[in-house]
Amino acid sequence: MNQIIIPVEGMTCGGCVKSVERALGAQTGVMTAKASLEQKNVTVEFDAGIIQRAQLEQAIQKAGFSVPA
């Protein structure tokens, strides 16, 4: 089990937080996703043997948010 914190831009409300969490939670290999509006990031617990950071970032972007470089 791995845990990373990914910065997320574009979250402006609780609905945005839920959207990010839902998008990541739907990915195979993700155990938990906890987004923070105040910190502008999401903490993800995942199985690195199944999913990688790049795929997590793509899921965030497909949900309509951006991940700063």
CATH number of residue 15's parent domain: 3.30.70.100
Rounded Cα distance, 9 and 65, in Å: 6
Any domain includes 69: no
Rounded Cα distance, 7 and 42, in Å: 6
Any domain includes 37: yes
The model's confidence at residue 2, banded by pLDDT at 50, 70 and 90, is very high
Give the range of the structural domain holding residue 55, as residue numbers without chain letter. Answer: 2-62
Any domain includes 22: yes
Any domain includes 67: no
Query: 12 and 40 in contact (C-beta within 8 Å)?
Result: no
**Using one digit for the tens of pLDDT, what is the confidence trace for 4-61?**
999 999 999 999 999 999 999 999 999 999 999 999 999 999 999 999 999 999 999 9
pTM of the predicted protein model? 0.94
Question: Which regions of the chain does DSSP assign to beta strands (E)?
Answer: 2-7, 30-36, 41-46
**Using one digit for the tens of pLDDT, what is the confidence trace for 30-45?**
999 999 999 999 999 9
Total domains, the chain:
1
Any domain includes 68: no
